[in-house]
Amino acid sequence: MTMLDRMRRHRGWLKWSLAIVVVSFILLYIPSFMRDSAQGAANNAVVAEVEGREVTAAQFRRVYQQQMQAYRSSYGGNIDERLMKQLGVDQRIVQQLIEEEAALAEAGRLGIRASDAEVRERILSLPAFQENGQFIGDTRYRQLLRMQNPPMRPDEFESQVRRGIVVEKLQAALTGWQTIGDAEVAKEFARRNEKVKLAVLSFPADKFREGITPSDAEIAKYFEDHKETFRVPEKRKIRFLTVDQESFRAKETVSGQQIERHYNENIQQYSTPEQVRASHILLKTDGKDDAAVKKQAGEILAKAKGGADFAELAKKYSQDESNAAKGGDLDYFGRGQMVPEFDAAAFSMQPGQISDLVKTQYGYHIIKMVDKKAATQRPLSEVRAQIEDQLKWEQAQAQAQKTADDIAKDLKKPADFDAVARRHGLQVTESGFFQQDEPIAGIGMAPSVAQQAFTMQVGDVSDAIRTQQGFAFITVLARQDPYVPKVDEVKNKVRDALVKEKSIEAARQKAASLTPTLKAGDFEKAAKSAGLEVKTTDLIARGANVADIGISPAVDAAAFTLPVNGVSDPIVTDNGAAVVKVLEKNNAAAGEFDKQKEQLKTELLNERKQRFYASYMANARKRMNIKINRDTIAQLTA
């Protein structure tokens, strides 16, 4: 018997909990687009282990699909597995799952658990399982779970809810002591909202480079003073062979039947459901007299239906802070994106129509239908080339994976490279020495290969390493330890650094020579007399891009401490020098701070808690036994 089987016995004492449980839970169980047979890894295959806790292929697929759907919602249906891999989504998901398991392991170590009662309360409070503020009942609860693809059992869902609660409790236990004072909030509010308008006179260092020719003695002295700047980091040299997916792709063929089958099986990728665009006015009822709110909403509705400008009414009366300033505009949305009552009303209306009052859990809404878009479906003829390209790529990936698997069976020691390469029609290549963050000759930028090379010993042979092009197998030939070079080895680098430093100093001196004149009289006239051009900014906040300078903390520091009409001393920037005059200052009104204070305080406190929690868990993971099965991951994303 699951805990939901027992809910009906305890509904009475659980009702009070609905008022205080406000944290929502996002369903991670969503349809899986990844075909098991194509992936070559069973659902129970282990992707990673954290302190003996297994992260399975099924968990990985579920989150991978969630990410895929999120990308497609934002960027359209052309997002595919190849692009996901290039973006490194698969690696980020593995890290995310490892971090979740690490959090659960740490919670277990600290004795943090989630009781059956807490799980019951959370499920009963989820909006997905409520109707008119009440739990929808056990039967419909089970029906909703069965409607998932694949269907979910109640115990599976309840286990996921339990995990979420445990992680939340761990975060609360670790960060609950954190506070933030009003003075910090006020300081941050001012920092974010204060703006200045500047007259900017820049002195680019490049204009002062001419004629700067450091002597050998100056170069030698600069090198002696900055030796660590020119330290050569550790380098490695490797032999390698690569399996290039693109070479397989050129040989692949796809039949018309395959294309049609893929189109029919993935029709949702090529379909856009019905959408509507609406605006609304919301009057919230939370903590208020319902009848009074309803009466006010009715009065606003009468104005709207009487011909008043709906957008202006929304700006004046709507309490939905996310869109009131935009006249209540919600942009286009599909079915299921809004709460059920709102959804039902919006999709039953015609463009230009204004609804009666619509009551939801948030309050009373007045909805104006703006536009409707009918459901559309791209025909097969339009997407045939795209599907053919995708299927060829998938087949090439599968063939590259098979070749890599075959190579891995035979490649055990450095002496095997040549024979294995000949057997598969591949070439063995030797790189020069490279740093970990440098391109590798013959491979290019390949962080995964470089990272592996710098963790191996000379003579080791790697497993298959996933690259953007396919797979690589490497053996480390030699290692070069970090060292401080002789000046002659890096003479050109030293010269360039010294010339830049001297040209920046020359720019600063030129700015300094003009500063007294700039401060004494007409800023722009003084600059013009010197043959220089002053550029004026708009009102800008800290961190803004300033013309001819870019983003400069040094300019910010000067500009935001000067009074109106104040002129700075010379400011050294990354690429020269500058002098600025403050033309105007704009500080947010005190009333605005009062309005935003609590929201900003919550945001800053949450950021502080998140930083502490992230730091704590990073240290916790260092002492944990974590294993990652990269072969399984490669199979899952092939």
CATH 3.40.50.300 fits 274-374, yes or no: no
Contact between residue 46 and residue 621 where contact means Cβ atoms under 8 Å apart: no
What CATH code is assigned to 3-177+622-636? 1.10.4030.10
One-letter amino acid identity for 469?
Q
H/E stretch holding 578 reads: strand 576-586
Please state, in angstroms and rounded to a whole number, the distance separating the CA atoms of residues 126 and 4: 14
Domains 3-177+622-636 and 274-374 share a fold: no
Q: Is 618 exposed, middle or buried (0-12, 13-18, 19+ CB in 10 A)?
A: exposed
**CATH architecture, range 236-259+381-480:** Roll (3.10)
pLDDT for the residue 634: 66
Please state, in angstroms and rounded to a whole number, the distance separating the CA atoms of residues 560 and 129: 51
H/E stretch holding 240 reads: strand 235-244
Residues of the chain with pLDDT under 70: 1-43, 69-70, 72-83, 85-86, 148-151, 590, 634-638
120 closest CA partner among 10, 251, 230, 216: 10
Go through 32-64 and write b for each residue having 16 or more CB atoms within 10 A of its CB, e for each that does not.
Answer: bbbeeeebbbeeebebbbbbebebbbbbbbbbb
Q: What is the 3-state secondary structure (H, E, C) of 326-388?
A: HCCEEEEEECCCCCHHHHHHHCCCCCCCECCCEEECCEEEEEEEEEEECCEECCHHHHHHHHH
pLDDT for the residue 287: 82
pLDDT for the residue 55: 86
Domain 195-231+489-586: top CATH class = alpha beta
Please state, in angstroms and rounded to a whole number, the distance separating the CA atoms of residues 308 and 302: 9
How many C-beta atoms lie closer than 10 Å to residue 147's C-beta? 9
pLDDT for the residue 89: 79
Please state, in angstroms and rounded to a whole number, the distance separating the CA atoms of residues 319 and 222: 63
Please state, in angstroms and rounded to a whole number, the distance separating the CA atoms of residues 72 and 268: 11
pLDDT for the residue 25: 33
Please state, in angstroms and rounded to a whole number, the distance separating the CA atoms of residues 151 and 67: 20
H/E stretch holding 135 reads: strand 134-135
- The strand pair at 235-244 and 626-628 is best described as unpaired
Question: What are the percentages of helix, strand and coil residues in the chain, rounded to 5?
Answer: 50, 20, 30
Please state, in angstroms and rounded to a whole number, the distance separating the CA atoms of residues 456 and 450: 10
Contact between residue 503 and residue 208 where contact means Cβ atoms under 8 Å apart: yes
Nearest-5° Cα angle at 416, 411 to 419: 110
Give domain limits for the chain: 3-177+622-636, 195-231+489-586, 236-259+381-480, 274-374
- Give the CA-trace dihedral at 19, 21, 23, 26, to 10 degrees: -100
pLDDT for the residue 74: 62
Contact between residue 142 and residue 7 where contact means Cβ atoms under 8 Å apart: no
User: What pairs with residue 56 in β-bridges?
Assistant: 46
Query: Per the structure block, which two tokens stand in for 539?
Result: 């009102």
Please state, in angstroms and rounded to a whole number, the distance separating the CA atoms of residues 507 and 576: 6
250 closest CA partner among 94, 392, 348, 361: 392
